[in-house]
Amino acid sequence: MEHTARAFWLRSPGQGEIREVELPRRADDEVLVRSLCSGVSRGTETLVFRGGVPENQYAAMRAPFQEGEFPGPVKYGYLNVGVVEEGPSSLVGRTVFSLYPHQSRFVVPADAVTVVPDDVPAGRAILAGTVETAVNALWDASPLIGDRIAVIGAGMVGSSVAALLARFPGVRVQLVDALPARAEIAAALGVDFALPEEAAGDCDLVVHASATEAGLTRALELLAPEGTVIELSWYGDRKVSLPLGEVFHSRRLTVRSSQVGTVSPARPGRTYSDRLELALRLLADPALDALITGESTFDELPAVMPRIASGEIPGLCHRVVYESALKPA
């Protein structure tokens, strides 16, 4: 095998570069993967790119195959789809998803990759980590048939949650966002859309994923008595204020966090592998292509990441395509 690869590194906050890296010699229980595409997780990765990870969260925010330390230099990312070039015979030639950063080729333990189902295109499979977060959130939320639900924040995670809720029988689900253009994403996912001031109230459940104080406040306002907000936002080093007077106590409202780092305690018999395999199966739905709103080559990533972080390139998931995926078969 070739013993070098190319990897995207954050040299310092706001400055990325592509480095040539040495690949370790592969052991018998490891695989060599050639990347086809990877995804930029806009919320978390742009927070890392800006240097906004609080020091007391360095350990909690560490990605599975991260190298380096916050705030930099650091190699960070966790949405990778590639082809196994070397490894156990059951995996060679298979398209796999892994929680690996943006790198052209890499070696990982064989149990760190998950085979992508045949009916899921590689370009859509980069969403597996985000859909896995949505699965865990809904395990935490435990929505019931006929529930009235709002999802606030039509980013990658919020839109994924709304897309899965659209499959629940009898629910009223509304995707809420301050950007009117996000109505197109809601329509593609088959769910209703509303601006925050127009959202339907009396909700049994609100899933909040806008990462804004205004969004979380609106989530509380939309709840019916005894209703629950599931908080998915990651605020980094920002402080958030909430109106916990007013109707918070008289309506007996609940705010509960959900985080993908642990499997929901509501599903004690499930493993991380179970959850990821489920997310990949759910990605057979072509409607989820609406969550991929931009694309660039790997070589363009150092110039593209600052534009994503600043909002100059808007949208949801940004797909990075590697040279190996562009060559004719």
pLDDT tens digits, 150-184: 999 999 999 999 999 999 999 999 999 999 999 99
DSSP-derived 3-state class of residue 198: helix
Judgement on whether residues 237 and 290 belong to the same structural domain of the protein: no
Residue 303 is part of a domain; what is its CATH number?
3.90.180.10
How high is the pLDDT of residue 95? 98
Judgement on whether residues 143 and 184 belong to the same structural domain of the protein: yes
CA atoms of 260 and 156, how far apart (whole Å): 14
Judgement on whether residues 250 and 296 belong to the same structural domain of the protein: no
* Percent of the chain residues past pLDDT 90, beyond the cut: 88
pLDDT tens digits, 65-107: 999 999 999 999 999 999 999 999 999 999 999 999 999 999 9
Judgement on whether residues 120 and 134 belong to the same structural domain of the protein: no
Q: How many domains does the chain have?
A: 2
Quickly state the pLDDT bin for 259 (edges 50, 70, 90): confident
Examine the pLDDT at 329 and tell me if it is beyond 90: no
How high is the pLDDT of residue 32? 98
Judgement on whether residues 14 and 31 belong to the same structural domain of the protein: yes
pLDDT tens digits, 124-148: 999 999 999 999 999 999 999 999 9
Please write down the long-range contacts of 197-203, taking CB distance under 8 Å and 24 or more positions apart: 199/150, 199/152, 199/174, 200/148, 200/150, 200/172, 200/174, 202/148, 203/148, 203/149, 203/150, 203/227
pTM over 0.85: yes
Judgement on whether residues 307 and 239 belong to the same structural domain of the protein: no
Please report whether residue 262 resides in a domain: no
Please report whether residue 278 resides in a domain: no
- Expressed as residue numbers, the domain containing 145 is 130-257
Residue 193 is part of a domain; what is its CATH number?
3.40.50.720
Residue 25 burial class via C-beta count within 10 angstroms: exposed 0-12, middle 13-18, buried 19 and up = exposed
